[in-house]
Amino acid sequence: MPTTETTSARFADIENWSTDELVDGIVTEQFAAIAAVRAASAEISRAVDAAAERLAGGGRLIYAGAGTSGRIAAQDAAELPPTFNWPYERAIPVMAGGESALLRAAEGAEDDRGAAKRTLEGLDIGDKDVVVALAASGRTPFAIAALEHARSVGALAIGISNNPGSALGEASDIAIVLETGAEFIAGSTRMKAGTAQKAALNALSTGIMIRLGFVYRGQMVEMRVSNEKLRGRAEKMVMALSGATIERAREALAEAGGRISLAVLMLEKRLPAIEAEKRLAAARGNLREALK
């Protein structure tokens, strides 16, 4: 039996605990989840470097999962475009049971190996792509089939599970194992295992974006400016990174069509927008490289 589905004697009578004890126990378990992610740091680092290498060549980051794991994966995919201006068509969630399963549980969808393969075949994945599949138990057929198909066509297959020695790990090029053990409520992997998966994806996708050059001096220089709050943040970012006045930063940002990295490059190198855009494109969007 996977350790995530075992019962802990420590939590055998939680229904008799006080509310304060319940909340403290649940929160304390989240610390254990983060410790499990830290223990897997070496494999996460390997995955960051390997994935960034593929994606630098134009590949896509494809997430696959069922239930809680699939929803966590879909959230990570959805946040890359606004944060890093990563194209939506290159951050693709593949959810067992389809999009409707993001809001309503699709019972039995996790067992449909054929659906995973058909979906990835429809995406025509290849050796530039990266497929990240998640399954707390490490034995979800949908997630395993996604990785098996990924490897069969040369895509990078990264598996994230919460049990060592799992079938998901065997199907992976890089297996990230987050050993979170028994849950506060036995088998409820939306809790500690889910927290660990979210933290691991934070490290994985953010690390990839940094390696690809979408962060400069610790700031989100490819952030999409989609509202007034973000416009103000972008102006201050351009000002801080270029040393320009707020008025000049605002002007440059407007000339750059709201693209922060482009505005910084224009100000730093005293280039018109069209020349700065060419230079940034030649550096594959990497502001640090463009500034060199």
Q: Is the CB of residue 223 less than 8 Å from the CB of residue 215?
A: no
List CB contacts of 171: < 8 A, sequence separation 6 or more.
133, 144, 147, 148, 151, 157, 159
What is the rounded radius of gyration, in angstroms, for the C-alpha atoms of the chain? Answer: 21
Is 110 designated active site? yes
Tell me if residue 148 is catalytic.
no
Catalytic residue among 21, 29, 43, 79: 79
Selecting among 29, 110, 179, 183, the annotated active-site residue is 110
The catalytic residues are: 79, 110
